[in-house]
Amino acid sequence: MKKNTKLYETAAALLASGKGILAADESDATAAKRLEMVHLPNTPENRREWREIMLSAPGIEEYISGVIFYDSTIRDETSEGVPFADLLLARGIVPGIKVDLGVKDLHGFKGEVVTQGLDDLDKRFADYYEMGARFAKWRMVVTIDEDELPTDQSLKFNSLQLARYAQLAQDAGIVPIVEPEVIFEGDHSLAKAEMVTTRTLQILFQTLMEYKVDLSGLILKSSMVLAGSKHPEVSTPEQVAQATLRTFHMSVPHEVAGIVFLSGGQTPKRSTDNLNAIAKMGPQPWPITYSFSRAIEEPMLRAWGGKKENAEASQKALLENCKENSLASQGKL
């Protein structure tokens, strides 16, 4: 594939030191779970107002380098008619887009799924590029079972989907984020999580290289390596940091533009503490930062509560949270 230096420039902007990527890419249905936290109905107006409060927060560009949108959100606009993507661009924040269409059962592999969304993806990328999107995200779901899951076949099949997605993204001038999420839910040990995450990333990057994806214009969005949510021993930040970085050094080529973390069901505080512990381990071959969703949005949503008079307090909560994660990404907490 022909090299595209603009991809490298976009990736570098997204991975700027002290900044992270806001994953505001909830589907309209998933947005209901966020709004339920503050007892609000899942209406287009509530979704718009919530996003507008977030994206217009004064000074957010100091901490946020990019925002991942969902299809309906990138098409949305402020109460004054400014497209959300333009609102970001005016502040030096890169708009992005989630392009996968969710998962379906993988036939013949009980308990495993495959991500959908490759049909007409080249046409969708062209449309999103016109709307201002310069990076994209595709999620792969990896479930751990102490006995059998995940299978190598499932990992390979999903990695092929990710490789095709990445090819199409780069051809459209869009930086692909590949997100192999190892699910936190479960009773698996830290050692099991490390083994599965390492194997997942090794198969993924072997596949990406086989299909000539330009790794220098690609970002990995990874789970942190930690014991499952139901495991009797809770992984400490230091254990998470050591296991996660061991995994990366075993699996991620140095050419990759950078790595961002998903929060993956952790509480906002735990996500931040683990991020800080990883950053304290010192410089790595790749820039490493965060791409949180709930861990950033939950505090501001609770401060807002759907009340216009709380908008300023909500933005303050958002900025405080973003600043804390910015410091954590530099190991300064």
Task: List the catalytic residues.
Answer: 179, 221
CA distance linking residue 328 with residue 261, whole number of Å? 12
Contacts of 50 (CB under 8 A, 6+ apart): 34, 35, 301, 304
Residue found by looking up tokens 């718009």 in the block: 48
Contact 318, 296 (CB under 8 A): yes
Contact 99, 167 (CB under 8 A): no
Nearest to 174 by CA among 60, 55, 62, 68: 68
CA distance linking residue 255 with residue 78, whole number of Å? 38
Strand partners of residue 105: 113
Looking at the chain, how many residues does it have?
Answer: 333
Degrees to nearest 5, angle at CA 235 with 232 and 240: 155
CA distance linking residue 52 with residue 60, whole number of Å? 12
Contact 280, 290 (CB under 8 A): no
